Chain A
Amino acid sequence: MSIAAETAPRGQPRRGRRIDGWRWGGRIFLVFMLLYTALPMVWMLSTSIKSGFAAMQFPPQLWPDQPTLAAYQKLLDPQNSVGQDFLRFFWNSLIVSTATTVLSVIVAVPAAYAFSRFRFPGRNFLFFAVLLRNMFPAVIFLVPLFILMRAIGLVNTHGSLVLTYLTFGLPLAIWLLKGFYDNIPVQLEQAARIDGATRFQAFVLIVMPLSTPGIIATAIYSFIGAWNEYIYAYTFLSKNEQLTLPVGIQRFFSENTTDFPGLMAASFMMSVPVVVLFLLLQRYFVRALTEGAVKH
């Protein structure tokens, strides 16, 4: 390191400058991307603390003169009908997303492990069949799945959404986790089995803990997918008390078109669980995506 640092500047000033050009180009691009993604969120936040009047003002204010939390109070107040609806949608979304996440992990972990460790007839076929679903846009399955759900009596239940979200989330979850298990040396399990563990104990005691980052990444991915999904929730559920947040917010506020602070406050609160989850677990998420990809 120190030798390189001493010799590099003398030998190659010109090359250093060209690399800097690229680097600055990259930085400017990243700043642009950051603004592009962050500004709408800033706007959402700022509108949510405006009064209804200030939100409609022109020219718009980036930051309100008189910030107010009225919109939040209204949404979180179980006494008023707006609050009741919002809290119910929030709860529904939480149920559906959590169920999707838990089931997704329960299915993906053993499935990925089997694809990674065992050779069985039809293994490759099954693996690619699992991925086949992801080759088509989700809307293609909207009508067929609706008919299917009606036939098995799941329309207007949260179960229909959980099932659907699983078919969307599982392929990537299995793929990601398989990469993880591929990178865990099989000798670790063998050692555990010789040390007195059954196959299942070797998996639970040795392999599972090592794949925690992968499992967490998988869980976050499933949760976010289910939490944000709109089209299927819109199609499969029609009763007001069952709606999930994305549909609920949209439907509810199309009846109150002028309440932009309320809409933005609801949107902001909808993004809170995902952001919190991600901030808490991003360490694992990043490790999952990098380790699964490269480590020996």
Chain B
Amino acid sequence: MAHVVLKDLVKTYGSFKAVNEVSLTVNDGEFVALVGPSGCGKTTTLNLVAGLTSVTSGDIFIGDQVVNDLDPKDRDIAMVFQNYALYPQKSVYMNLAFPLQMRKLRKDEIDRKVKDAARVLDMTHLLERKPRELSGGQQQRVALGRALVRDPAVFLMDEPLSNLDAKLRVQMRSEIKRFHQDLKATIIYVTHDQLEAVTMADKMAVMNGGYLQQYDTPAQVFAHPVNMFVASFVGSPAMSLIPLEASTANGNTVLTSAEGWSLALSPRNMRKVESASTRKIVLGARHSTIKLHKSAVPGSVPAKAYTVEPTGDVTFVQAFLSGAIVNISVSPDVAVKPDEQIWLEFDQERVHLFDSETEMALKAE
């Protein structure tokens, strides 16, 4: 196993920058998820690490070695592809054996390792089949098996679960996590699904538009998103972002809505708002931190219910507030009807405040 360091990594296609000055360190044995919307440069970043794409500028270290100019075969990595990329003409056995054959291992050694891997992944009975005779989930396992049969320094995975159905995805999620714990493997895992990143990874690197937005533990990213993009990308339903305007009355800073109401702030939040370069502030709140009231209570603001989605455990309500849509979760016994007038109360300790121009989270010095 080895650590991986990306330093000011840039990849351009013509004048288009697919990856922009990305720097991050993946420690030995760490599971890092590279997460972001489609087209944000995740695959490109992974391919740079794999050596499938040439670096425009910057450095990639695997272990303590700069690998920029090494062929993929010399980087001691294994990769699991979104479409599995199993060799269609080879049996499962030969698919697993291929990386070992390429490394010129002895036949009996290959046989032993292939059978070990097959046993670990519980697919000994599939060894003679061709990939097209396997279900999606089985193909996924073979792809995983082909990666782990070689015991590489780093595992790279590009959306390995996104072609599976929802149930299998949840199951494989825990299996891969388990596999990471057992092997103490260094894993870079690409996904567009923030839930996968949050549930599986030690750290998540959120990307957007080729830029690394935030790199931290899922808990930190969830609790302290650095900007509006990360705030709305991580968490489901998404964090609600409500555009408001700061104004000061009687020495107290409040946030006012174009709808006429205003929201009082805690002293700490006041300091945050005062530090902004603009008076246009965006208030962010996660669904679970907003209280829904059927009548006005002190500190609450008026909103209008829009959709109501009971899911059994909780009911998700969407409401219009100051021109934005707000997600709220309530207990199933709260009866709300669409178009009903409701009042929302924000938890001052858990709201997020953003500068609407820089879109960065505001800090209280």
Contacts and interface: CB of A to CB of B under 8 A. Distances in A.
Given A190-B72, A191-B81, A196-B73, A209 B103 contact: no
Candidate in B51, B71, B82, B146 with the most chain A CB atoms within 10 angstroms: B71
Nearest to B52: A190
Nearest to B149: A195
A192 interface: yes
A193 B71 contact: yes
Interface in A220-266: none
A188 B88 CA distance: 9
B87 interface: yes
Given A209-B89, A210-B88, A194 B50 contact: yes
Candidate in A193, A195, A197, A201 with the most chain B CB atoms within 10 angstroms: A195
Interface in A164-217: 185, 187-188, 190-198, 201, 206, 209-210
Q: Is the interface of A mostly helix, strand, loop or mixed?
A: helix
A196 B103 contact: yes
A206 B131 CA distance: 14
B102 interface: yes
Contacts of B51: 193
B78 A194 contact: yes
Contacts of B87: 188, 191-192, 206
B98 interface: yes
Interface residues of B, number: 24
Contacts of A196: 73, 99, 102-103
Interface string B76-116: 01110111010111000000001100110000000000000
Contacts of A192: 87, 98, 102
B252 to A, nearest CB: 59
A193 B52 CA distance: 8
B77 A194 contact: yes
Contact of B73 (A185, A187, A198, A210): A198
Contact of A197 (B75, B102, B150): B102
A191 B71 contact: no
B83 A190 contact: no
Interface in A124-168: none
A194 B73 contact: yes
B83 A195 contact: no
A188 B72 contact: no
A193 B51 CA distance: 9
B81 A195 contact: no
Given A195-B73, A197-B73, A190 B81 contact: yes
A238 B268 CA distance: 101
B79 A194 contact: yes
A188 B85 contact: yes
Contacts of A193: 51-52, 71-73
A194 B71 CA distance: 8
Given A193-B52, A209-B89, A210-B89, A201 B102 contact: yes
A185 B150 CA distance: 23
A187 B51 CA distance: 13
A187 B85 contact: yes
A205 to B, nearest CB: 8
Nearest to B88: A210
A198 B74 CA distance: 10
Contact of B99 (A195, A201, A206): A195
Interface string B185-200: 0000000000000000
Contacts of A198: 71, 73
A196 B77 CA distance: 9
Contacts of B77: 194
Contact of A190 (B85, B88, B146): B85
B42 to A, nearest CB: 15
A100 to B, nearest CB: 28
B79 to A, nearest CB: 5
Contacts of B83: 185, 187
Candidate in B50, B73, B78, B150 with the most chain A CB atoms within 10 angstroms: B73
Contacts of B50: 190, 194
A197 B51 CA distance: 13
Nearest to A195: B99
Interface of A: 185, 187-188, 190-198, 201, 206, 209-210
Given A191-B85, A193-B73, A201-B102, 10 more contacts: A185-B85, A188-B88, A191-B87, A192-B87, A192-B98, A194-B50, A194-B78, A195-B78, A197-B73, A206-B87
> Shortest 7 CB-CB distances between A and B: which pairs?
A196-B102, A195-B99, A187-B85, A191-B85, A193-B72, A196-B73, A187-B81
